[in-house]
């Protein structure tokens, strides 16, 4: 068995040398190949188990959980971490994901014991500061969007969509219009939109985009009918464009007795500059983990508060904070017309603290400046690259994302995927690929406001050099990429055909250990 | 503004490259009536020390759990989190990475998720686990929908011992569904589900330890469910209990959902938390959420990827198993690090210590005049009946600096027979002095 740089046996089927196990690029065995059931990194007193209160339900099967001492754990997780790209280590221009800088003051504030060490069900009189914080965050969100209410509790964007659509469904039922069973979703929408609509029993009707990448108000009007409950529209849309006819669309939707759900994933482009409430939206989730800088953490946790128009406000779920004589109170139970509860407790307090910290740091002026810088950066990338790349929708200035299609790669033998993987070898995280679906071989670049001009110039230089190289026929640099990452391209087909979803002790071999 | 890198000079230079006269030219698609047509009643940007002072003032208005004796549980538990955990999860490469869509430069997150899935499968005794859901309550709703897809039947029976918030979330997800049967609260721990199982039943949902702390018989429940072609969904809100209680997988569970907050994660006033979900191998294609799987790279090296994504919204859109996208990655990391530090030896010791402290608490409470402990069985949590309305007793104890548990009526307003019930938990952090202080104060309040 080959050995890695720690002198440990590496896992079955791996090699410990070469691109993935040398110098400062670590290779690391699985925790179960390092630790065993006797090692532990915590010191706890041994107590006798008196089992009569366990009523015969005590454990008889073995846990077989590997443990690590503290130094072993520290090294395992530090070494693993170094196999990740992160926003702190380099540009992360994933379109639709808003990978902006995560200020560390936010982390420090979220860890104050007055926020992190309070229980959701301790008496309300002992958490008045927490309720005040929720109230303040609500005020910021409603003010920035010019809306009547906000439901803070959704756990992420898709959860917020679910809540918003539930509120719309409840409102339609309250109007006696439960027969409205169709939701309009433009073809360029995020996958979560149709998934959410279907999840609560709506049928989804796609709305085609115009050739210029925006939604056609006439197409919306044609699709509206007495069976339509709502439209789910992203604005700015997933092609990076502000919908120029959004006000007309909202009016047509309302005239037809339907509601306007706005996917707020791209709010970063317009915060402090445009208020979605002024455009006629009825509900919009705000990804605190995108727009308001709470860290993505390798896939969450997020938070997806939903702002609501006056028409939908009565259908907000519990809990919410309300002013009372004795201070602030937490309304935890269903009142008239409310749709109930979409999560236990009160939502993502840890994210509320971080988001409010971010808002207070920026202020109204800083948020508007951030949005404008995000738009400036995307347009700068587009301007610097459009002579080499193909721009599918050149009619409008882009908002906070620059979108290219793959026609510039025609006849090069290089695909969007190959191009993205080559970017990895140049030290950048790839852009979002093959999304939105309405653009062939899409490359969606969202630099965010956090990138300096110097970084953008370096990124554009690399992109230009790659495009030129691809057009000159040097396809191997792309098809073989990445060469310098901790792993080369992974066999996803094999992973799906023969799923291995947990570690099993290799049959007939000795346990791998030091 | 300390977070924005451009100088005004650079902005102007960039506008020049773009060929725009000013920044507003880039917003030309926005209707004039909506662009900067307002003044926001919000403060201007602020230096770090002033922001910090503002938030500290808010935090200081709260009574932190560590400020005094603390017995609050009911679905969220205060445990010790080793310093290593919080240090590691704040490393940039963990904290500021996105969902691992580019596996070649996300092997850290992916290998961690593979290890996490293995740990969850082991403690629950199930074949496979996913890479996390938002929390236990939404996980329970997802499990119910999954069971319906698997059985193609509709009736779902929720035990009266299920956490009321979890019940409410399932009700919201299945709005007005006539096939959803929610049984009345069962504070005495009475078995209540089995008689409701029939041939149309997709699943029964049983929490153990239940909301009131009682341990429930899963083996009987599994047999009764399976006899009618129904699935057993087991809900566990205190995951530490699995250190001493038999794994649900060994007792016949089909889907196990846990709130994983107890391991590695702080109370955080209710979130972010961590939904764990595990199931049988044959059910994975109906499982919601992300899954990480092992594979090899072009050089034959072992590596990890997100897999079976044809279940998910970004591929299947309206035909997906769930709309979930972002989940609880960093909370899963904290769980996995803490679980690695514990190992089998530490996890079992931790669970025993919790149980031992709960026995001390139960015995001390039973000796207080006017208190009746309802539980014959429990792990680290129990329900007591007192001689006065519980909400008022708990409030008075809070004013004396003791956070004495949760009045059942807070979660079940208007429900008969729960007004005088308090649910209390002990953990490894509960001291003899805490218990003595509670018993003394309760004795005075009930006198």
| pLDDT of A4 strictly over 80 | no
Q: Are B124 and B233 within 8 A, CB to CB?
A: no
- What is the predicted pLDDT for the residue at A509? 53
Handedness of CA B105, B108, B109, B112 (dihedral sign): positive
> Do residues B75 and B106 share a domain?
no
- How far are the Cα atoms of A278, B113, B121, B331, B443 from residue A35, in angstroms, in the given order? 58, 17, 17, 22, 48
Specify the range with the lowest mean pLDDT, choosing from A139-143, B172-176, B281-285, B429-433: B172-176
CATH code at B106? 3.40.640.10
> Do residues B300 and B356 share a domain?
no
> Do residues B157 and B267 share a domain?
yes
Query: Tokens in use for B188?
Result: 């005495």
Average pLDDT, chain A: 92
- What is the predicted pLDDT for the residue at A512? 43
Which of A9, A298, A351, A383 to mutate: most B Cβ within 10 Å? A298
**B269: in domain:** yes
**B8: in domain:** no
- Kindly give, in sequence order, each residue whose CB lies less than 8 Å from that of residue B338, ignoring residues fewer than 6 positions away: B81, B82, B85, B263, B264
Architecture category of domain A106-360 in CATH = 3-Layer(aba) Sandwich (3.40)
Task: Give contacts of A 123-182 with B, CB under 8 A.
Answer: 123, 125-130, 132-133, 136, 140, 143-144, 146, 155-159, 161-162, 166, 169-170
Q: Does A255 touch chain B (CB under 8 A)?
A: no
Interval A154-164: pLDDT, tens: 999 999 999 99
> Do residues B348 and B323 share a domain?
no
Specify the range with the lowest mean pLDDT, choosing from A331-340, B84-93, B95-104, B208-217: A331-340
Out of B10, B98, B103, the one facing A94 most closely (by C-beta) is B98
Average pLDDT, chain B: 96
Angle at CA of residue B9, ends B5 and B14, nearest 5°: 80
Interface contacts (A, B; CB < 8 Å): 725
Judging contacts by C-beta atoms under 8 Å, the chain A residues touching residue B118 are 32, 502-503
Q: Where in chain A is the domain with CATH 3.40.640.10?
A: 106-360
For residue B345, give how far its alpha carbon lies from the nearest alpha carbon of chain A (Å): 6
**B401: in domain:** yes
For residue B85, give how far its alpha carbon lies from the nearest alpha carbon of chain A (Å): 9
Q: In which domain, by residue range, is B298 found?
A: 83-339
**B60: in domain:** no
Which of the four pLDDT bands, split at 50, 70 and 90, describes residue A18?
very low
For chain B, the straight-line distance linking the first and the last C-alpha, in angstroms and rounded, comes to 60
Specify the range with the lowest mean pLDDT, choosing from A9-23, A241-255, B93-107: A9-23
For chain A, the straight-line distance linking the first and the last C-alpha, in angstroms and rounded, comes to 13
For residue B259, give how far its alpha carbon lies from the nearest alpha carbon of chain A (Å): 10
For residue B370, give how far its alpha carbon lies from the nearest alpha carbon of chain A (Å): 22
3.10.20.30, 3.90.1150.10, 3.40.640.10, 3.40.50.12160: CATH of A364-496: 3.90.1150.10
> Do residues B173 and B286 share a domain?
yes
Cis amide bond preceding A306, omega within 30: no
> Do residues B219 and B104 share a domain?
yes
> Do residues B332 and B355 share a domain?
no
- What is the predicted pLDDT for the residue at A506? 86
The backbone region for A266, taken as left when phi is positive above 0, alpha when psi lies in -120 to 50, beta otherwise, is: alpha
For residue A412, give how far its alpha carbon lies from the nearest alpha carbon of chain B (Å): 22
* Full DSSP string of A65-128: --B--HHHHHHHHHHHHTTB--TTTS---BTTT------HHHHHHHTSHHHHT--TTS-GGGBH
Which of A118, A380, A424 to mutate: most B Cβ within 10 Å? A118
d(CA A213, CA A208): 10
Judging contacts by C-beta atoms under 8 Å, the chain A residues touching residue B291 are 499, 501
> Do residues B314 and B389 share a domain?
no
> Do residues B104 and B74 share a domain?
no
**Consecutive H or E run containing A433:** strand A432-433
- Nearest chain B residue to A396 by CA: give it: B29
**B204: in domain:** yes
What's the number of domains chain B is made of?
A: 2
Interval A196-233: pLDDT, tens: 999 889 999 999 989 999 999 999 999 999 999 999 99
Q: Where do we find the tokens 């008022």?
A: B392
Q: Does A48 touch chain B (CB under 8 A)?
A: yes
d(CA B356, CA B376): 15
> Do residues B76 and B168 share a domain?
no
Judged by CB atoms closer than 8 Å, whether chains meet at A397 and B301 is answered as no
- Kindly give, in sequence order, each residue whose CB lies less than 8 Å from that of residue B304, ignoring residues fewer than 6 positions away: A490, B103, B107, B110, B111, B113, B114, B292, B293, B294, B295
Q: Where in chain A is the domain with CATH 3.90.1150.10?
A: 364-496
**B40: in domain:** no
**B403: in domain:** yes
- What is the predicted pLDDT for the residue at B78? 98
Interval A393-427: pLDDT, tens: 998 899 999 999 999 999 999 999 999 999 999 99
* Nearest-10 crossing angle of helices B48-59, A128-145: 130
Interval A342-401: pLDDT, tens: 999 999 999 999 999 999 999 999 999 999 999 999 999 999 999 999 999 998 899 999
> Do residues B265 and B382 share a domain?
no
> Do residues B149 and B234 share a domain?
yes
Judged by CB atoms closer than 8 Å, whether chains meet at B64 and A15 is answered as no
CATH code at B374? 3.90.1150.10
For residue B301, give how far its alpha carbon lies from the nearest alpha carbon of chain A (Å): 5
């Amino acid at each position: 068995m080959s050995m890695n740089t720690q002198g440990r046996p590496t896992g079955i089927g791996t090699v410990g040398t070469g691109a993935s196990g040398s110098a400062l690029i670590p290779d690391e065995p699985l925790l179960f190949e390092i630790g065993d059931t006797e090692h532990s990194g915590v010191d706890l007193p041994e107590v006798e188990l008196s089992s009569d209160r366990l009523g015969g339900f005590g454990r008889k099967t073995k846990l077989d959980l590997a443990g690590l001492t503290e130094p072993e754990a520290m090294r395992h997780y530090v070494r693993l971490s170094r196999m990740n790209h992160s926003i702190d280590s380099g540009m992360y221009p994933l379109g639709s994901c808003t990978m902006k800088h995560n200020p560390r003051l936010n982390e420090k504030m979220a860890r104050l014991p007055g926020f992190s060490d309070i229980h959701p069900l301790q008496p309300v009189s002992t958490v008045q500061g927490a309720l005040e914080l929720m109230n303040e965050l609500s005020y910021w969100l409603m003010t920035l969007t010019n809306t009547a209410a906000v439901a803070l509790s959704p756990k992420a964007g898709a959860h917020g969509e679910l809540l918003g659509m539930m509120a719309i469904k409840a409102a339609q039922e309250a109007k006696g219009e439960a027969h409205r069973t169709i939701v309009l979703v433009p073809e360029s929408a995020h996958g979560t939109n149709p998934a959410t609509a279907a999840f609560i029993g709506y049928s989804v009707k796609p709305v085609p985009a115009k050739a210029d990448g925006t939604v056609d108000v006439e197409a919306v009007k044609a699709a509206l009918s007495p069976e339509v409950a709502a439209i789910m529209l992203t604005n700015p849309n997933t092609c990076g464009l502000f919908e120029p006819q959004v006000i007309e669309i909202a009016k047509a939707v309302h005239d037809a007795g339907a509601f306007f759900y706005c996917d707020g994933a791209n709010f970063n482009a317009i915060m402090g500059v445009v208020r979605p409430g002024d455009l006629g939206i009825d509900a919009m989730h705000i990804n605190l983990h995108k727009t308001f800088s709470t860290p993505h953490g390798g896939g969450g946790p997020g938070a997806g508060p939903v702002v609501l128009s006056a028409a939908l406000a009565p259908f907000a779920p519990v809990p919410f904070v309300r002013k009372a004589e004795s201070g602030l109170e937490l309304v935890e139970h269903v009142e008239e017309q409310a749709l109930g509860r979409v999560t236990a407790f009160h939502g993502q307090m840890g994210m509320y603290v971080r988001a409010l910290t971010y808002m207070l740091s920026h202020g109204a002026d800083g948020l508007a400046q951030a949005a404008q810088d995000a738009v400036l950066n995307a347009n700068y990338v587009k301007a610097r690259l459009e002579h080499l790349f193909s721009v599918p929708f050149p009619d409008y200035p882009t908002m906070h994302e620059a979108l290219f299609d793959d026609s510039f790669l025609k006849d090069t033998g290089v695909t969007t995927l190959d191009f993205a993987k080559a970017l990895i070898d140049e030290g950048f995280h790839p852009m979002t690929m093959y999304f939105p679906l309405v653009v062939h071989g899409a490359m969606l670049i969202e630099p965010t406001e956090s990138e300096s001009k110097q970084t953008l110039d370096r990124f554009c230089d690399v992109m230009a050099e790659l495009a030129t190289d691809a057009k000159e026929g040097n396809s191997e640099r792309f098809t073989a990429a990445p060469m310098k990452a901790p792993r080369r391209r992974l066999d996803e087909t094999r992973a799906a055909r023969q799923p291995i979803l947990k570690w099993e002790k290799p049959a007939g071999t000795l346990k791998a250990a030091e | 503004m300390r977070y924005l890198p451009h100088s005004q000079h650079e902005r102007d230079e960039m506008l020049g490259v773009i060929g725009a006269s000013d920044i507003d030219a880039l917003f030309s698609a926005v209707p004039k009536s909506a662009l900067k047509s307002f003044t926001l009643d919000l403060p201007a940007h602020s230096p770090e020390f002033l922001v910090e002072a503002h938030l500290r003032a808010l935090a200081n208005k709260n009574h932190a759990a560590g400020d005094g004796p603390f017995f609050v549980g009911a679905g969220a538990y205060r445990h010790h989190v080793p310093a290593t955990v919080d240090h590691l999860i704040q490393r940039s490469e963990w904290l500021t990475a996105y969902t691992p869509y580019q596996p070649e430069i996300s092997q850290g997150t992916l290998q961690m998720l593979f290890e996490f899935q293995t740990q969850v499968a082991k403690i629950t005794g199930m074949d496979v686990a996913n890479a996390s859901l938002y929390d236990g309550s939404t996980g329970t709703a997802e499990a119910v929908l999954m069971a319906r897809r698997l059985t193609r039947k509709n009736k779902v029976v929720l035990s009266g011992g299920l956490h009321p918030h979890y019940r409410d979330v399932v009700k919201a997800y299945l709005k007005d569904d006539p096939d959803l049967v929610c049984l009345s609260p069962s504070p005495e721990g009475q078995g209540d589900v089995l008689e409701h199982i029939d041939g149309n039943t997709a699943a029964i949902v049983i929490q153990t330890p239940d909301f009131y702390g009682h341990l429930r018989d899963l083996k009987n429940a599994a047999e009764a469910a399976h006899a009618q072609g129904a699935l057993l969904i087991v809900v566990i809100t205190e995951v530490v209990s699995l250190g001493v209680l038999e794994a649900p997988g060994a007792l016949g569970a089909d889907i196990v959902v846990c709130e994983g907050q107890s391991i590695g994660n702080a109370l955080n006033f209710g979130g972010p938390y961590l939904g764990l979900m595990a199931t049988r191998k044959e059910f994975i294609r109906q499982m919601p959420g992300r899954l990480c799987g092992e594979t090899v790279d072009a050089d034959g090296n072992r590596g990890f990827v997100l897999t079976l994504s044809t279940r998910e919204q970004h591929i299947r859109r309206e035909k997906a198993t769930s709309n979930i996208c972002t989940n609880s990655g960093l909370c899963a990391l904290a769980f996995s690090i803490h679980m690695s530090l514990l190992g089998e030896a530490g996890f079992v010791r931790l669970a025993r210590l919790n149980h031992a402290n709960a026995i001390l608490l139960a015995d001390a409470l039973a000796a207080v005049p006017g208190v009746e402990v309802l539980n014959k069985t429990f792990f680290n949590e129990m329900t007591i009946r007192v001689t006065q309305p519980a909400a008022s007793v708990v409030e008075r104890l809070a004013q004396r600096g003791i956070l004495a548990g949760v009045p059942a009526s807070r979660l079940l307003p208007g429900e008969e027979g729960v007004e005088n019930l308090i649910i209390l938990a002990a953990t490894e952090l509960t001291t003899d002095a805490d218990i003595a202080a509670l018993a003394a104060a309760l004795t005075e309040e009930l006198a």
